[in-house]
Structure 1
Amino acid sequence: MLTDLPQPRGIAARLADAALSMGSEPNFAATLEAIVREAQKSIPGTDHAGLSLIVDGKIETAAPTSPLVEQIDEYQYKFGEGPCVDAIFEAEVYRTGDMSAEHRWPDFSTAAADAGVASMLAFRLHLDGRTQGALNLYSSQHDAFDDAAVHTGQPFAAHAAIALAHSREKLQLLDALDSRDVIGMAKGIIMQKYCIDDERAFSVLVALSQHGQEKLRDVAGHIVEECRAEARDSLPKS
C-alpha cells in the first residue's frame, strides 16, 4: 500500500545516518562505541546494547552500554550458551522474547531472567566469510524485539561489520607504522653506539629478539626507552 512507503524510507534514512556515524569515528574504540550507540537508537525495543568480539580465539565484551550487558555476557561465556554464542557459531540471528520460558539455553536463560533481562536479539557480525563477533541487544520487556527489529537489525549489523573491519584494518596499519618507526629508531641507536651499518644493526635486533624470546618491536622499544632514560639522566639538575 502507498501509505506504507514512508516507514521503509524512514528506516533507510536511519540506517544511512548510523552507517555514516559508525564509519567516521577516529579510532577503533570510538567505532565500537558508535556501533552500540547507533544500535540503541536505530533498532526498536533496545534498552541496552553491546558487542561480543572474537579476540585471540576467545569471546570478549566490548563497548557495553551498561554494567548489565557485561553481567549478562559473562553468563553466556561462563555457560557457553546464549543468543550471542549461537549467533557467532550457529546462525546469523537469534531472538528470544521470554527468557524465563527459554529452553534453548537452560543455564543462561535462568541467570539472565533473574538479572532482569526478558528479551534478547543477537546478530552475527561477519564480512567476507570471516566472523568478527556479534551485536547483542537486551530489553527488560517481554517480546521487545518484533519482526521490524530483526529487519532493521540485519542491514544494521552488515554496516556495523564493515565499519568494524575497516577500523580494525586502520588500527593494524597504525600499529605496523608505529612498529616500523620504533625499530628504525632502535637501529639508529645501535648503529651510532657500535659504529656499524644498518644491516648489522638489524641483525643485532633480531639476535636480541630471538635470545630473549620477545617480539622485535618490544626489543626495539626497550632500546629506545633506555636511550631516552639515559638522555634524561644526563640533563643538568635544576
Structure 2
Amino acid sequence: MNHDVFRDLVPNYLENLTSEETNRQMEQHMEQCENCREYVNEMREELFIEHINERKDEKKKVDYLKKVRSKSKKKIFMIIGTMLSLFLVLTISYYFLFVHMWVADENNVQTTIHHQDNVVTVTFQTKKDNRYLLAKKEYGDQEYENQIIVYESWNFFTDVKLNQFSDLANSLQDGTDSTYTFLDKNTLLLPNGEEKTLTDEDKLQIIYKNSTEEILLKDLYNNVDIN
C-alpha cells in the first residue's frame, strides 16, 4: 500500500469504517513506515479534539434555529460522506481495472495461430503463472479488428472475496484470442456479413510493451507464424 492511498483511508480507518482486510494492510504499512504511523496518531488526536469540540457545540444549541442548523450540517456531512465514498469506490475500481493492468511485455506472451477450415484464431497466452492477459481489440478506420493491444495483470488472488476480478482472471488463464473468418485467402468475411477483398494494405497490428508486430491478413490466412 503506497502512502497516498494509506492517507486517504486514514479517516475511515479511525472511524472503524474500513474492512478487516484493509485494516490489516494499513497496520502492516504502519509497522514499516514511521511517518505514516505518526500521521495516524496526529489524525487520531485531531479527531479526538474535534469530537470534544463538537460535543461542546451541541450543548450550546438550545434554540430552534440552532437545531435546524445542526440538522442541515448533518445532511451536508451525509452528502459529503456519500460523495467521498463514491469517489473512493470509483478510485479503487479504476485502479484495479486500469492502473493495475499494463501493456504486456512481449517476452511474457506466447502468440499462436490456429487454423480450422476458414476460421483463423490468434491466441495470446501468458508465460507467467501469476499473470493473466487481456487483448483489447480496435477497429480503427477499418471494418475488421486491425489492431490488438495485449495487456497483462497480476493474478495473485483467485478468491472472489479478495479479488472481484478473479472470475475474469480465471476465465483467461487459457489465453485470450481474436478470430477472423475467411472465404478464401484473399477474402475476409466481416462481422456485418459483408465480404472484403484483401490487399497488401490490410494488416493486423499487435502491440506489446516494447514492440509492435505487423502481419498481412493474407499471411494470417496462410498460417504464417507471428513470432
Of Structure 1 and Structure 2, which has the larger fraction of its residues in helix? 1
Fold conserved between structures, TM > 0.5 = no
With normalisation by structure 1, the TM-score equals 0.29
> Which protein is bigger by CA-based radius of gyration?
2
User: TM-score w.r.t. structure 2 length?
Assistant: 0.30
